[in-house]
Structure 1
Amino acid sequence: MKTKVLAALAATMAVGATCAFAANPFVDVPSDSWAYKSVVELADAGIIQGVDGQYFQGNRNITRYEAAEMVAKAMAHMDKASVEQRALINKLADEYADELNNLGVRVSALENRVGNVKLTGDARVRYRYQDGSKENDNSWDYRVRVRANSQVNDRTKVEFGVSTDNHNFADNGTASNAENQENNGIYVDRANVDYNFGGNNWDLKVGRYNYVLGGDRAYGYNYGDTFDGAQLKYGNDKFAATAGYGKFKEGDIAGIAKTNDDEGLEGTKTGYGELEGFFGGGRAAGSALGVYYNDFSANDATRGGQADDLWGAYASLNLGKWNALANYENVSYAKDIKTANGNDDSANVWIGKLTYGKAGFATPKSWDAWVEYINAEDGAFVGGSTNGWRWGNHMDNIESWGVGADYTFAKNAMFQVMQSFGTNTKDGNAKDPEEQTRAQFVFVF
């Protein structure tokens, strides 16, 4: 990249500099040069230093790291930039994200700048198969999600997102037929305000957000999806505590829709709390231990609302390129609820997962492979959307193994494959479920 090209781009980033009072620091940039004003403004703003502090060398090719360093310095002036200038800085920061991270500059720091609005999203094309399943006629499906994140001020963020449902390619209706496609399955899955206070250690989130039982480090066996509520969190590099209350909005636990003249049932509500500790690398990259609790309430005792409460614990250990996860959950039921395993008041699930490597969307050719084990008593799965990859009949009253791999074949594009094996029904006389296969392409933007 030529420095004069970068100077033309970065001229709009030299905000706050006053050329009339700035002296030209470079002996090789004459006052009648087309780039004189931009170069002086950039130097005065501290974005460029030149070579040996004396020469600009406008025709010299520069490295991506030198360009990233200039972008990093421009990021420091974001509070003085206009909307158009911030947009350009954001674009350059995305381009040089890897170099900025290697230089120790977190691109996510842009989110702390007032007035920053960023659109992100993902698209998934998925294949699922299970021998003898009626779902095989709809093996291929797709989903698209779009997120808008806005930094209102230095403490407040607003998130809004929409998502399509999982639409299969075997639908008989036309793509534009809203009645056949249930309004194309588009719904609001994120709409929340996030307020940070108390020295950045306290965080309050209110609205519609993603809630995972056990947090981001746990397996997400029982629930991980759209949730309406309020959540207060305290966290630092060693410890985090979370408390919240709200209503599930996806899956059976969220309620049954109105049919004919029957009223729809109200979704299950929960109060929840979680404690986590981080070590061996801190909160971002280290290992973690956590415990969590949910108190359920619902109007109907024939679906997910039958569960009275749930508690769980997890351990996630980072061992170089290896990660080992162990997760336990116990669901308690009202005394009049019976489960197939003979227990009248509780059901347990044990989950273990071992992963080697780490696939990242920003790192082409990165990959990982994993193996998992699930041992779930009847009633351990309360019903609802999860972070797991299995169909519902592989979530409850089963013992099963699974293997999978993730590969980033291009920047922001990943291929993932999963396969179950050794699956059997734990209690009762039901036939062992057939094994499941899943493969998908995921693209982020």
Structure 2
Amino acid sequence: MKSKVLAALVATMAVGATCAFAANPFVDVPSDSWAYKSVVELADAGIIQGVDGEHFQGQRNITRYEAAEMVAKAMAHMDKASVEQRALINKLADEFADELNNLGVRVSALENRVGNVKLTGDARVRYRYQKDSKENDASWDYRVRLRANAMVNKNTKVTYGISTGNHAFSDNGAAEDENDILSDIAKVDYNFGGGDWTLSVGRTDKYVIGGSKGYGYNYGDIFDRAELKYSGDSFMATAGYGKFKAAGLAGGDFTYKDKDYSLDGTKTAYGIIEGRFGNGTAIGGYYNTFDNDDYNALVRGTELDYLWGAYASFNFGKDWNLLGNYERVNYNSNINSTVRGDEDSATVWVGRLTYGKAVMATPNTWDAWVEYLNAEDGAYIGGSTNSWRWGKLDNLESWGAGIDYTFAKNAQFQVMQSFASKVKDGDGSDPEEQTRAQFVFAF
């Protein structure tokens, strides 16, 4: 990039000038130059410093590292920038992300600038197939989500998002007729205590039982909560209370006397602790206690009591990760055998081995994985899950495999397939295998 072109660009980025009549620091920039005012303002703001502090050398080609250094200094003045200037700096930071990282400047620091509003989103087109499944009538579906992130001050961040939810292409426009776009995230995060403590209040779109490192066998969806989190270099602890806002739990949606009921609104108190080690390795445990007495009063025998689990995620070699997750669900002792069987607890084991890492922002990155699932009857409490699988997921032993490939920046293709699936207990027939493929786009 030539310096003259960059001068035209950074003319819009003059965000930190303190004096419009500051002295010209460069002997080779004449006062009648078209770029004179912008060069002086940027020098006065500390964004540019010339070649040797005395010469600007406006006709010289500059390196990407020199351009990245200017962007880094502009980032430091984001609090003084206009909306248009912030948008331009965001674009430049994305362009020079690698150079900025090498200079020790995290592009994510843009999110910590007061007054910065960042719009993001994603879109997914998905195919799911299982022989003889009622889902096959709606095998193709789509979802679009939009996000707005705003810094109120240096410690407070507000996030709001909307989602179409999952809609089958076979609906023939039903999504538009139903007008069912929903607010799936609306929260305030307050950071204090030197940056290690965060209080988050409101709705999140990605609460996962088991935390970010766990497999997410039972739940990973919309959740209203208040949560306090400590996150250090070697230790993380989270405590919170809230209620589920998507799908059902403890049996899922239920029809009783020709009326449909759901456990939407079931409350839970939860805690997570995690030890962190070098190279991204982590070991953690979690606990949830449930309050769904209203539903239990209607249909006796489906009341959840509590759930606990433990996980370990090991990175080894250059590109390998091994995840192991154990989880146990407990029900009240008055459980109705016609609903859940005679057991009052159930466990699940999940293991996944992954090679590589598909990064949405980096084209031609990929990963491949294989997993093993062994779940007792009653281990799956219903509702949404962070797993790629769907339908009845308990009383099941199954293997799965998949590939994720980023074929262009912010565009990824993912494919998953189950195999060797069988019923663990009872005389029922083994489940049909599941196939899932999807395109995911981020913007």
TM-score, normalised by the number of residues in structure 2: 0.92
**How big is the alpha-carbon RMSD for the aligned residues of Structure 1 and Structure 2?**
2.4
Confirm or deny: 8 A CA contact 1:296 1:305 kept in the other structure.
Answer: no
Task: Tell me if 1:190 matches 2:185.
Answer: yes
Q: Any unmatched runs of 5+ in structure 2?
A: none
Q: Could you say if the C-alpha distance between residues 175 and 157 of structure 1 is closer, same or farther in structure 2, counting changes exceeding 3 Å? A: closer
User: Which amino acid is the alignment partner of residue 229 of structure 1?
Assistant: R
Matched, 1:306 2:300: no
Counting matched residue pairs gives 435
Q: Which residue of the partner structure matches residue 230 of structure 2?
A: 234
The ranges of structure 1 where at least 4 consecutive aligned residues each deviate by more than 6 angstroms after the TM superposition are: 257-261, 339-342
Structure 2 counterpart SS, 1:310: strand
Change (3 A) 1:375 1:258: closer
| Cα deviation, residue 57, structure 1 | 2.4
Give CA deviations for 1:177-224 in whole Å, capped at 9, x if unaligned: x1xxx32x3111001111111222211111111311111111111111
SS in 1 for 2:295: coil
Q: 1:297 aligns with which of 291, 295, 302?
A: 291
Task: Please show how residues 201-212 of structure 1 align to structure 2 within 5 Å.
Answer: 201-209=196-204, 210-212=206-208
Deviations 1:303-352 (CA, angstroms, capped at 9, x unpaired):
99622100000001111211110000000111122499976221000000
Q: Distance in 1 between matches of 2:5 and 2:209?
A: 50
Q: Is the 1:238–1:277 Cα contact (8 Å) retained in structure 2?
A: yes
Give the structure 2 partner of residue 222 of structure 1.
218
Q: State the match for 2:78 in structure 1.
A: 78
- Structure 1 unaligned residues grouped into runs of 5+: none
1:8-39: per-residue Cα shift (whole Å, max 9, x none)?
A: 22223333324555333323211211111111
2: CA distance between counterparts of 1:435 and 1:175?
A: 29
Question: CA–CA distance in 2 between the matches of 1:46 and 1:10?
Answer: 12
Aligned match of 2:328 in 327, 330, 333? 330
Alpha-carbon distance between aligned partners in 1 of 2:257 and 2:84, rounded to the nearest angstrom: 52
Q: Which one of the candidate residues 257, 271, 277 is aligned to 2:275? A: 277
Change in Cα spacing, 1:339 to 1:361, as seen in structure 2 (3 Å) is: farther
For 2:405 and 2:161, locate their aligned partners in 1 and report how far apart those are by CA, in whole Å: 27
Shift of the 307–174 alpha-carbon distance from structure 1 to 2, 3 Å rule, reads closer
Aligned to 1:251: 247
* Residue 168 (structure 1) aligns with: 168
Match of 1:348 in 2: 347
Contact 1:124–1:143 under 8 Å retained in 2: yes
Matches within 5 A, 1:14-413: 14-19=14-19, 22-173=22-173, 176=176, 178=177, 182-183=178-179, 185-209=180-204, 210-253=206-249, 256=253, 264=261, 267-281=265-279, 286-298=280-292, 299-301=294-296, 306-319=303-316, 320-337=318-335, 338=337, 344-393=343-392, 395-413=393-411
Q: Determine if contact 1:294/1:311 at 8 Å carries over to the other structure.
A: yes
Amino acid at match of 2:295: D
- State TM-score, norm by structure 1: 0.92
Worse-superposed segment, 52-61 or 117-126: 52-61
Cα deviation digits, residues 85-111 of structure 1 (max 9, x gap)? 223222222232233223321111111
- Aligned residue type for 1:413: A
- Residues 302, 340 of structure 2: 8 Å contact kept: no
